[in-house]
């Protein structure tokens, strides 16, 4: 709230238990020290939801907070973990937002591997009617979507058609790499993305946006994993290996973003 850094921002609530292994999966086996829960994630009752909103409100009203149609954007990580509390909690927050003079809230869900880990996610999506969802790479690979189905390996190339009825508004994304071995040496899967891979993924992603004239979106947000997630080797910021490579690739891809034009003939046809 002190105005620094002077950049647009929004909050993503990483609502999950803190565990020793740092997987977000609570210890279900007594004595399993590696999966020990250090701090559980509880949701309380309406009084605590009210307090949570009051804490967030000064940030929502900050001049740099990201708005969509004038509404502060708030991202939820694991709606399935919130469970039956989700619907009344979101209902209360939307009500409190209006009472605070805001036009509402823009609630965004995270599409990642916990979509399947938390069994009731799909049912909650249909019941609660959130405003949008974003593609969390590379967790999309763990959420039931394959490289073939995604038609991509590094960045979103299209909306997730299976979810369009639930989420007509989908924010695309990309990732620079993912390797959990700094956190867990037993992890075997590492997903490396060179600067060239990242550059190619962004170009394909942006071309996919430009070529999809049916995609309607008020604010075209884009989520990249990650700025400096060193413990999982998802690094956008400059480092001793790639220098400014990932940032330069992003700058170039954005500056050469293809523009989709509709000819006068097509415009006339659409007006009829």
Give the model confidence (pLDDT) of 44-78 as tens digits.
999 999 999 999 999 999 999 999 999 999 999 99
Q: Reduced to 3 states, what is the DSSP secondary structure of residue 221?
A: coil
pLDDT of 10 over the 90 cut: yes
- Terminal Cα-to-Cα distance of the chain (whole angstroms): 50
Tokens, residue 239: 């480092």
Peptide bond into 5 cis (omega under 30): yes
pTM of the model: 0.88
The rounded percent of the chain whose pLDDT value lies above 90 is 60
Q: What is the dihedral of CA 206, 210, 212, 214, to 10 degrees?
A: 130
Tokens, residue 98: 């209006």
pLDDT digits (tens, 9 = 90+) for 72-96: 999 999 999 999 999 999 999 999 9
pLDDT at 266: 43
State the alpha helices, DSSP H only, in the chain.
Answer: 46-60, 79-82, 86-99, 114-117, 121-128, 147-150, 195-211, 245-255, 264-271
């Amino acid at each position: 709230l002190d105005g620094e850094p002077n950049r647009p921002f929004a909050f993503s609530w990483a609502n999950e238990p803190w565990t020793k292994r740092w997987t977000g999966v609570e210890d279900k086996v007594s004595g399993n020290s590696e999966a020990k829960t250090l701090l559980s994630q509880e949701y309380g009752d309406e009084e605590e939801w009210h307090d949570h909103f009051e804490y967030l409100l000064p940030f929502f009203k900050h001049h740099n907070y990201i708005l969509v149609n004038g509404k502060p954007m708030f991202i939820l990580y694991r709606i399935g973990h919130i469970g039956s509390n989700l619907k009344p909690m979101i209902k209360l927050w939307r009500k409190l937002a209006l009472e605070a003079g805001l036009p509402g809230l823009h609630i965004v869900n995270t599409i990642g591997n916990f979509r399947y880990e938390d069994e009731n996610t799909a049912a909650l999506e249909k019941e609660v009617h959130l405003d949008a969802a974003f593609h969390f790479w590379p967790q999309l690979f763990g959420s039931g979507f394959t490289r073939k189905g995604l038609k991509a390996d590094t960045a979103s190339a299209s909306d997730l058609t299976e979810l369009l009825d639930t989420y007509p508004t989908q924010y695309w994304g990309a990732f620079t790499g993912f390797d959990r071995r700094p956190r867990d040496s037993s992890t075997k899967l590492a997903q490396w993305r060179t600067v060239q891979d990242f550059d190619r993924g962004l170009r394909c992603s942006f071309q996919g946006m430009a070529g999809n004239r049916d995609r309607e979106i008020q604010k075209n947000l884009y989520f990249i994993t990650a700025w400096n997630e060193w413990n999982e080797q998802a690094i956008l910021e400059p480092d001793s290996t790639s220098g400014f490579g990932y940032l330069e690739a992003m700058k170039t891809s954005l500056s050469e973003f293809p523009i989709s034009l509709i000819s006068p003939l097509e415009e006339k046809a659409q007006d009829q």
